[in-house]
Structure 1
Amino acid sequence: MEKPRKKFIDVVDKAMVAANTMDRDELLFSYKGILYPVTVCSPEVFKAMESLEARSDDVILAGYPKSGTNWVGQILSDLVATFEKKMQNEESINDEDLEEFPYLEVGDTGKYERMNKLPSRRVIFTHLLPDNLPRSVFQNKAKILLLIRNPKDVATSFYHFSNGMSVLPSYETWDDFFIAFMTEKSTVYSFMIILFYLVPWGSYFNYLSEWNKYAEDENVMTITYEELKENRALGVKNIAAFFGISLTEEELQGVVERSSFQSMKENSLKTHGALGSILFRKGGVSDWKSLFNEDQNEKMDKAFEEHIAGTKLGMKLKYDVYCRA
């Protein structure tokens, strides 16, 4: 199911070209206190997003940047495409002509009107906080797969991604990025300083705290990057069951094989264009050990304990297993 995704590639390529002509302090804008990249998001799009009418059979993936959304998005898209092709005995409804860029917050103001006309099932990704999603997502009981990853690896991956992706501000050193990643509030800073001391899409600990409010909802399934790494086959099977996607063991195994890091990396030029080489860097666990110093370990351990340790998502992350030095 690793077909070319022309619309995905076009959006990303245009954003990267536009960003290459901009200064660092022009790359981000603030909306409701959170920074976003100007070449892929806009206040007008966020306002138009409320017009999206969510459906109970939508397949929604929510995850903070660099928590594995492209990987798990591949799994979800493949599950739906395999099921639809099987049921219709023809090309999947997710044909290129019917697709939108999968990330909900990326596009133009007319995107949501077009999405409202798309047939089911729609596969939707987002990095947004739950309160920033269209109200219809929760009102209409759309099912959400919430993907979380240990915060030290998220920070490490985000650092490398920021320095390789022109739509985001780059950082001269890991120490500079760590300060930005750990900074939670922007109210005391001037806008120019905000650009340096905060990362796009906001604080990861705030993201976990806000999504934890929905962790018990019957329409929300939480899965960790690490548990998928431990047993991808079981993870794929559980995801399919949650969304009511009925496939044979052979069909499920095909999805598992196509979602291996090696397979996705080999197909990344076709599926993600120039972005592929930036996205598929290592795809492992515990890469944080190559960057974190003792002081940074202590600071993140303390932040985890203060913000998320005692919550359902905090326990799900197995912090002592994956994040203790």
Structure 2
Amino acid sequence: MVNRPPIKIVSGMPILGPFAENWENVQDFEAREDDLLIVTYPKSGTTWMSEILDLMIHNGDDMKTQRGAIFQRVPFLEYAVPDMPSGTEILNALESQRVIKSHLPAHLLPGSFWEKQCKIIYLARNVKDVLVSYYHFYRMAIVHPEPGTFDEFLQNFIDGKIAFGSWSDHVKGWWKIRHQKDILYLFYEDMLEDPKREILKVMKFIGKDLPEEVLEKIHQRTTFKTMKENHMANYSTIPSHVMDLSVSPFMRKGICGDWKDQLTVAQNEILDEYYKREMRDTDLTFRFEN
């Protein structure tokens, strides 16, 4: 039986037990002016955007993106598990320009990112697909606590008691400040609908000017099918004591509307009620199917 560490609370936010041990280094992290930061609530397209940005800053050269696994090329700021270097350690050793990923809510982002006025890409996904994907991720990612039954996980999700806390607080927190800072706020559902359109937005946002054929190459290299088969993008190289991919693949379906096959009528009603209640005070809205 694998010993799954319990959730811990840091700065009022639930986080994975091992991650909590490195929290001070996360809060003290020194950003650089040319850092590009990808922020999402978990299971909202982080790896997809990571691969797009890594290809983009290397002008579409896919040989460069084979230099290491995605979690080495785009390190996860909060990451810390036994017997592996932490996200902050990997990032501090990297030369510029760094692409960094994070799941932190806006109010807990290390201050140096604001001070250095770093460009931030926030990617949001609808709550129902996030919930389903996160449940399967919890099952296979052994650094998480046991998810329990789907109903138990749903309740913990609604109560904000899972790693990185409340989905609604997260998406609303970043939405609220998107015009005050250098933030590009994107939606997973929009990326599925027209990937090239959204990739173009990213290119303009980071100040790149790539020819059409390079954009097309980035688009083709970052389709779900291509990434699922790419060992440098699909997490197949991560140690099995961190993720047991025999339980569920890291890249499962990558679609909008998977929740319709997963949620019971009662579960769907609970989520509808949660969504209506939580989004009452914002103009942020989500699509639940393509």
Quote the residue 1:201 is aligned against. Answer: 164
Alignment of 1:21-60 (within 5 A): 21-22=2-3, 24=4, 26-39=5-18, 41-43=19-21, 45-60=22-37
Deviation at 1:141, TM superposition (A): 1.0
TM-score (normalizing by structure 2):
0.84
Contact 2:14–2:162 at 8 Å: present in 1 too? Answer: yes
Quote the residue 1:146 is aligned against. Answer: 122
Does the C-alpha gap of structure 1 residues 234 and 35 become closer, same or farther in structure 2, counting only changes over 3 Å?
same
Contact 1:209–1:307 at 8 Å: present in 2 too? Answer: no
Contact 2:120–2:184 at 8 Å: present in 1 too? Answer: yes
Deviation at 1:282, TM superposition (A): 0.8
| Partner residue of 1:181 out of 144, 153, 157 | 157
Rounded to whole Å, the distance in 2 between the matches of 1:284 and 1:110 is: 30
Quote the residue 1:242 is aligned against. Answer: 205
| Partner residue of 1:67 out of 44, 48, 51 | 44
Quote the residue 2:59 is aligned against. Answer: 82
Quote the residue 2:273 is aligned against. Answer: 302
Work out whether 1:273 is the aligned partner of 2:236.
yes
Count how many residue pairs are aligned between Structure 1 and Structure 2.
Answer: 277
User: Which stretch of the first structure deviates more once superposed, 276-285 or 247-256?
Assistant: 276-285
Rounded to whole Å, the distance in 1 between the matches of 2:33 and 2:168 is: 29
Deviation at 1:204, TM superposition (A): 0.7
Contact 2:234–2:251 at 8 Å: present in 1 too? Answer: no
Deviation at 1:42, TM superposition (A): 2.7
Rounded to whole Å, the distance in 2 between the matches of 1:100 and 1:322 is: 32
User: Which stretch of the first structure deviates more once superposed, 221-230 or 156-165?
Assistant: 156-165
Rounded to whole Å, the distance in 2 between the matches of 1:115 and 1:35 is: 23
The one-letter amino acid of 2:121's match is L
- In the alignment, structure 2 segments of 5+ residues that lack a partner are 238-242
Question: 1:272-307 CA distances to partner (integer Å, 9 max, x unpaired)?
Answer: 225576211111110111222333223222222222
TM-score (normalizing by structure 1):
0.76
User: The residue matched to 2:138 in structure 1 has which SS?
Assistant: helix
Rounded to whole Å, the distance in 2 between the matches of 1:264 and 1:136 is: 32
User: The residue matched to 2:14 in structure 1 has which SS?
Assistant: strand
Deviation at 1:117, TM superposition (A): 5.8
Question: 1:171-220 CA distances to partner (integer Å, 9 max, x unpaired)?
Answer: 34221211111113xxxxxxxxxxxxx21111111212322221223500
Does the C-alpha gap of structure 1 residues 217 and 310 become closer, same or farther in structure 2, counting only changes over 3 Å?
same
User: The residue matched to 2:162 in structure 1 has which SS?
Assistant: coil
The alignment-based identity, stated in percent, is 29
User: Larger helix proportion, structure 1 or 2?
Assistant: 1
Quote the residue 1:290 is aligned against. Answer: 261
User: Which stretch of the first structure deviates more once superposed, 61-70 or 210-219?
Assistant: 210-219
Deviation at 1:114, TM superposition (A): 6.4
Larger Rg: 1
- In the alignment, structure 1 segments of 5+ residues that lack a partner are 1-19, 185-197
The one-letter amino acid of 2:77's match is L
Does the C-alpha gap of structure 1 residues 261 and 109 become closer, same or farther in structure 2, counting only changes over 3 Å?
closer
User: Which stretch of the first structure deviates more once superposed, 204-213 or 100-109?
Assistant: 100-109
Quote the residue 2:214 is aligned against. Answer: 251
Work out whether 1:126 is the aligned partner of 2:98.
no
Deviation at 1:310, TM superposition (A): 4.7
Does the C-alpha gap of structure 1 residues 309 and 64 become closer, same or farther in structure 2, counting only changes over 3 Å?
same
The one-letter amino acid of 2:43's match is K
| Partner residue of 1:231 out of 194, 198, 212 | 194
Rounded to whole Å, the distance in 2 between the matches of 1:270 and 1:150 is: 23
Quote the residue 1:11 is aligned against. Answer: none
Rounded to whole Å, the distance in 1 between the matches of 2:127 and 2:263 is: 12
Rounded to whole Å, the distance in 1 between the matches of 2:249 and 2:185 is: 26
